[in-house]
Amino acid sequence: MRTSPTLVAIDQLRPACALQISDALRRLLSLVESLDTDAEPPSSTSEEILVDAEVDGFRYLLVRMPQPGSCKVRLSPREHEIVRMVAKGHPNKVIADVLNISMWTVCTHLRRIFAKLGVGSRAAMVAQLLENGTLPQNHNRPSNPR
């Protein structure tokens, strides 16, 4: 019976082990890049499989991942409105009333935004958009100060 692959981030390993693996990966990458001279440069927004090998019955993949935050997520104008209102702390019912749409539609927009960002909560959505610079830092200021 085949089990699902185990993914291990290098920074989750013991420092000495992580250093050895990082060094080995750097050497492997230099070999791969020297062999593949006619390949087009990697896209900074997608994954790239560098090595796909089977050794002793186990499959090993070396994948180049995009830099975090290097790919900007494209949100529709309506999604931007919903994100802004969520960041201000409004519940779905208030968002639906203000935008004159149903609560189901608000939920659908939120699910799509979560999928685009790869997050699972409203807080994670706001945090990621703040980190990416998509949501301005002053998102929580009242719109009409007294």
Residue 106 · residue 95 · CB < 8 Å: yes
The topology (CATH level 3) of 77-132 is: Arc Repressor Mutant, subunit A (1.10.10)
CATH 1.10.10.10 residue window(s) in the chain: 77-132
**DSSP for residue 22:** H
Secondary structure (DSSP) of 75-143: --HHHHHHHHHHHTT--HHHHHHHHT--HHHHHHHHHHHHHHHT-SSHHHHHHHHHHHTSS-TTTTS-S
pLDDT tier at 93, thresholds 50, 70, 90: very high
Report the C-alpha gap between 46 and 67 in whole angstroms.
9
Residues ≥6 apart with Cβ < 8 Å to 48: 42, 63, 64
What number is the average pLDDT over the span 94-102? Answer: 95
Burial 51-66 (b: 16+ CB within 10 A, else e): eeeeeeeeeeeeeeee
Q: State yes or no: pLDDT of 85 exceeds 90.
A: yes
Residue with tokens 């000495």: 16
Q: Is the pTM of this model over 0.85?
A: no
pLDDT, one tens digit per residue, over 62-80 is: 777 766 654 577 888 999 9
